[in-house]
Amino acid sequence: MNGTHAMLVHFPLGFWALATLMILVGAFVPGRIAELSRAALLPVLVLSLLGALAAMVIGFIVWPMAANLASPLTRNHILMAFWSLGIFTMITILVWRAGASAFDGTRRWALVILALIGGLFFASTGTLGGHLAGSTTPFSQVLGLMGWEIYTTFYSPLWAIALMVIIGLLCALWGFRNRQSSKIRGQY
C-alpha cells in the first residue's frame, strides 16, 4: 500500500506542473496555443484535485496518524500538501467562476501569482515526500536557504507569513477598489 501513495502523488504533481505551465502560456503567450491552454485548463485542474485527494486519503490510510504527528518531517509534508491543495483549489474555483474572462486584464495576475506560489508549495511537498522515502533532492538546500530546517521545523518562516498577510491585504484592497469602481460604473 505504501507504493500506492507514492504512485498516486505523481498525478497531482504532474497535473499541477502542467496547470502552472498552461497558466503562464495562457497569460503571456499570444495566439492559438494560449487559447488552447486557457480552454483546457479547467479539466486539468479538476483532475489534479481528484488525484490530490486520492493521494492524501491513501497517505492517511497507509500510515497511522500517531506516526505522522510524531515526525516533524511528516508534519511538514502534510502541511505543504494541504497548502498545495488549497492553492490549486483556489485557482480551480477562479477559473471555473470566471470562465473565459479568467485571463482578461489584470485577473491573469492572480492566476499567475497563485500558480507560482502553488508550484513552490507542491515542489516542497514532493521534496519532503522524497526525504520520507529516503530520496533527498538538491531542492532541500533551497528550502534551507529560505530558513526552513525540514527535519525539525514545523512552521512557516516568519517572512513567509508576513508575505502572505501582505499579499492577502493587497488582494482584499484591490478587490474592494474594483468593487467600488464597478458600482460607480453601474456594473455591479
pLDDT of residue 153: 63
Residue 127 pLDDT level (bands cut at 50, 70, 90) = confident
Residue 22 lies in a domain: yes
Cβ-Cβ contacts under 8 Å for 160 (sequence gap 6 or more) = 146
Domain count, the chain: 1
Burial 77-87 (b: 16+ CB within 10 A, else e): bbbbbebbbeb
User: Does residue 92 belong to any structural domain of this protein?
Assistant: yes
Domain assignment present for residue 88? The answer is yes
Percent of the chain with pLDDT over 90: 36
Q: According to the model, what pLDDT value does residue 25 have?
A: 96
Average pLDDT, the chain: 85
pLDDT at 39: 93
Inside any domain, residue 186 = no
pLDDT digits 0-9 by tens, 151-170: 776 566 677 778 878 888 88
Residue 183 has pLDDT above 90, yes or no: no
Domain presence at residue 90: yes
Please report which confidence band the pLDDT of residue 26 belongs to, taking 50, 70 and 90 as the band edges.
very high
Helices 107-132/10-28 angle, 10° precision:
150
pLDDT at 71: 82
- Which of the given ranges, 25-29, 61-65, 100-104, 150-154, has the highest pLDDT on average? 25-29
Mean pLDDT of 74-90: 89
Residue 96 pLDDT class (50, 70, 90 cuts)? very high
Amino acid at 71: S
Considering the domain boundaries, does residue 161 fall inside one? no
Asked whether residue 109 is domain-assigned, the answer is: yes
The x, y and z cell numbers of residue 151, run together, are 527535519
Note whether residue 173 is domain-resident. no
Mean per-residue pLDDT, 125-146: 83
Q: State the residue range of the domain holding 107.
A: 2-155
